A and B are shown apart, each in its own frame.
Chain A
Amino acid sequence: MMEQHHGSLAASHIRVEGLTVSYENPKAGGTFIAVSNANLDIARGTFVTIVGPSGCGKSSLLLAIAGLVPPAGGSVLVNGKPVSGPGRDRAVVFQDFALMPWRTVLDNVRFGLELQRWSGEDLTVRARRFVELVGLKGFEHYHPHQLSGGMRQRVGIARALAVDPEILLLDEPFGSLDAQTRDEMGSELLTIWEQNKKTAVFVTHGIDEAIFLADRIVVMAKNPGRITEIITVDLPRPRTIETMDSKLFIEYRRRIRECLMREARNERAAIVPQN
C-alpha cells in the first residue's frame, strides 16, 4: 500500500517528478535505465532514507537530486526550481569518502568553502568549527591516510556541513565501514542532524539503518529501478538503541523486508518462464 503525502508545492523542499535516469554503456552498446519514473515529495527538515537492493537506482536517484547526473526524463525540483547541476543548497557525502589525499583534515573541510568562494568569515576558523563538531578536534593536521574509515567519513560530513547547505545528501556514507562503526556513526549523525534539522536524503541498503534514521523511508526495487513503497516512520525522536527493540520498529522491518522479498520473487518469476 503506497502512502504519499500530497502536500502543496510550497511545502515540499525537494520534488521528484517522473524522473528517469539512464547511463550509456558503450561496451554493451546499449543504454541502462537506472531509475524509471520516480515520484517523490520531500518536506523541509525531514530525514528521508532510500533503501533497496543493489542496482535499484537509489544512488542514481540521489545523484540526480544532487545535480551530478542529468535526468533522461522527468525533473527534480528544489524549492520549486528545476535542478540543472550542483548547487550551494545541496551538499553530498560519498561512500568512498572522496577526500583529497594531499590535504589535511582541516584543508579538506575547507575544500567546499574554497570552491564556493566563501568570504566574510575566515575559512580556516569556520572549518575548524566543523572539525570539532564531528568530533575530530586535535586531528586538524592529519592526512586522510592516517585516519580510520570512520574518521575519514566524519571529515566528509564536516566538509558537507561546512558549506551550510539546505539539503544534505548522503550516498551510502557508512557502506565502507564495519558494522560497529556504522552504528556509532549513525547515532552521531542523528545527533548532529538534530542540531540544525536540515533536509536529509540518506541512501543505504541496510534495513535497520534505514528505519533508525528516518522520518520517511523510500523503498526501491530494480529492473527497472523504481520506487515501490514510501513508509512514514512514527518512531519518537531522539532515537536510541532501545528504539530498535520496540514493536513498531520490528513491524517496520517486517514490512520493508516483505516488500523487498516480494520484488525479488517477482523478478525471479519474470526470468523463469511460466508455462
Chain B
Amino acid sequence: MKGIAGWKSAPVLLGAVSFAAILLVWESAVRLGWANPFFISQPSAIAASLSRSARSGELWHNLAVSLREFAIGYGLSVAVGIPAGAVAGRFRTVEYALDPFLWFLYSAPLIAFYPIFVLWFGLGVPTVIVIAFLLSVTQIAASTLSGFQNVNPGLLRAARSFGATERDLLWKVVLPASVPMVIAGLRLGVGRALMGVVVGELFGATAGLGYSIAYYGALLKTTDMIASLLVVVVLGVLCTQGLSALEARFDSWRTGPDS
C-alpha cells in the first residue's frame, strides 16, 4: 500500500473504492429485487431525478435559495461569534456572563422557537437565516473562547520577558495562537448552520433544499427526496472538507507543550 503513488492517496483511493462499491451494491440490490426501491430508491433513478431537476432549473433555484440563507446566516454567525468569543476569552467576567445564555442556545431545540421567530422576523427566509445563525454562533463563539484561553502560557511568559504590553500580548501572541481553534470552530459551525438552514426549511419555507425534501416527502416520492438530500450531503462534505484543509494548513501554528 505504502508504495503506490504515495501514502497520502491511499485513503482517498480506498474511499473512492468504498463509495463505488456502495453504489454498486445499492443498484444491484434493487434491480435483483432484494430491496424495495420505494424505500431506498436506486442510484440510477436518483441520477435521473437530479439531471431532470437540473435541466428544469428547479435544482439550481433550490440550491440558490438555500445557499443564500446559509451564506447570510453563517456569515453573520462568524461576524458575531468570533468577536464575542474573543472578548469573552479576554475578560473572564464577560465569559461568565455569557455562559448561561450560550448554554441555553446550545442545548435548547431552537427549532421550537420557529413560530415565535416567524412572528418576529417573518415567514420563510428570514426565520431560516435566524435559526442557522443561532445554531452556528454558539459553536463559533465557544471555539474562539477556547482558543483564546488555551494559549500556551510559556509563549505568554516569553513575550512578557521581552517587555510585551497587554496589547502586544493580544495582537502578537494570543490572536495568532488562537487561529487553529477558531478555524476548528468555523468548521463545526458550518455543519450546524447547514442543519439550521435545512431544518428551518423543512418547517416553513417555499423554496430551498430542505423545502424540496419535505415537499417530496409529503408526496412519498423517495427518489426525489434522496436526490435533494444528496445535494445537502455533498454541500456539507464540501464545506467541511474545505475548512478541514484550511485547518490542516494552520496546524503548525498549534501551540503545544513543545513549541
Q: Are B254 and A91 in contact (CB under 8 A)?
A: no
Q: How large is the interface on B (under 10, 10 to 19, 20 to 34, 35 or more residues)?
A: 20 to 34
Q: Is B257 an interface residue (CB 8 A)?
A: yes
Q: Are B161 and A145 in contact (CB under 8 A)?
A: no
Give complex CA distance A144, B155 in Å: 13
What residue of chain A has the Cβ atom nearest to residue B158's Cβ? A98
Find chain B residues with CB under 8 A from A163 CB: 162
Q: A87 touches which one: B155, B163, B250, B253 (CB < 8 A)?
A: B163
Among B131-139, B168-176, B191-199, the one that faces the other chain is B168-176
Q: Is the interface of A mostly helix, strand, loop or mixed?
A: loop
A87-B163, A115-B172 as given contacts; A101 in contact with B255, CB under 8 Å = yes
B119–chain A nearest beta-carbon distance, Å: 47
A96-B154, A100-B155, A115-B172 as given contacts; A88 in contact with B253, CB under 8 Å = no
A87, A99, A102, A111 — which one has the most chain B CB atoms within 10 A of its CB? Answer: A102
A102-B179, A115-B168, A145-B252 as given contacts; A96 in contact with B161, CB under 8 Å = no
CB proximity to A under 8 Å, residues B238-259 = 250, 252-255, 257-259
Find chain A residues with CB under 8 A from B155 CB: 98, 100
What residue of chain B has the Cβ atom nearest to residue A98's Cβ? B158
Find chain B residues with CB under 8 A from A94 CB: 154, 157-158
A185–chain B nearest beta-carbon distance, Å: 17
Q: Are A114 and B172 in contact (CB under 8 A)?
A: yes
Find chain B residues with CB under 8 A from A102 CB: 176-177, 179, 250, 252-253
Q: Is B52 an interface residue (CB 8 A)?
A: no
CB proximity to B under 8 Å, residues A102-139 = 102, 111-112, 114-116
Q: Is B188 an interface residue (CB 8 A)?
A: no
Q: Is A66 an interface residue (CB 8 A)?
A: yes
Q: Is B159 an interface residue (CB 8 A)?
A: yes
Give complex CA distance A259, B154 in Å: 32
Q: Are B161 and A92 in contact (CB under 8 A)?
A: yes
B89–chain A nearest beta-carbon distance, Å: 18
Give complex CA distance A96, B258 in Å: 6
A192–chain B nearest beta-carbon distance, Å: 19
Q: A144 touches which one: B159, B164, B179, B259 (CB < 8 A)?
A: B259
Number of A-B contacts (CB under 8 A): 69
Find chain A residues with CB under 8 A from B253 CB: 101-102
**Residues of A in contact, count (CB < 8 Å):** 27
What residue of chain A has the Cβ atom nearest to residue B168's Cβ? A115
Q: Is B160 an interface residue (CB 8 A)?
A: yes
Find chain A residues with CB under 8 A from B254 CB: 101
Give complex CA distance A145, B177 in Å: 14
Q: Are A68 and B161 in contact (CB under 8 A)?
A: yes
A114-B172, A115-B172 as given contacts; A91 in contact with B257, CB under 8 Å = no
Give complex CA distance A114, B173 in Å: 13
Give complex CA distance A115, B158 in Å: 11
What residue of chain B has the Cβ atom nearest to residue A96's Cβ? B154
Q: Is A176 an interface residue (CB 8 A)?
A: yes
Give complex CA distance A98, B158 in Å: 6
Give complex CA distance A24, B258 in Å: 25
Find chain B residues with CB under 8 A from A143 CB: 252
What residue of chain A has the Cβ atom nearest to residue B155's Cβ? A98
Instruction: List 21 A-B residue pairs with CB atoms under 8 Å apart, sorted by A's residue number.
Output: A66-B161, A86-B162, A88-B163, A91-B161, A92-B158, A94-B154, A98-B152, A98-B154, A98-B158, A100-B155, A100-B172, A100-B177, A100-B259, A101-B177, A102-B179, A102-B250, A111-B159, A115-B162, A115-B163, A115-B168, A163-B162
User: Chain B residues in contact with chain A, CB under 8 A?
Assistant: 152, 154-155, 157-164, 168, 172-173, 176-177, 179, 250, 252-255, 257-259
User: Chain A residues in contact with chain B, CB under 8 A?
Assistant: 66-68, 86-88, 90-92, 94, 96-102, 111-112, 114-116, 143-145, 163, 176
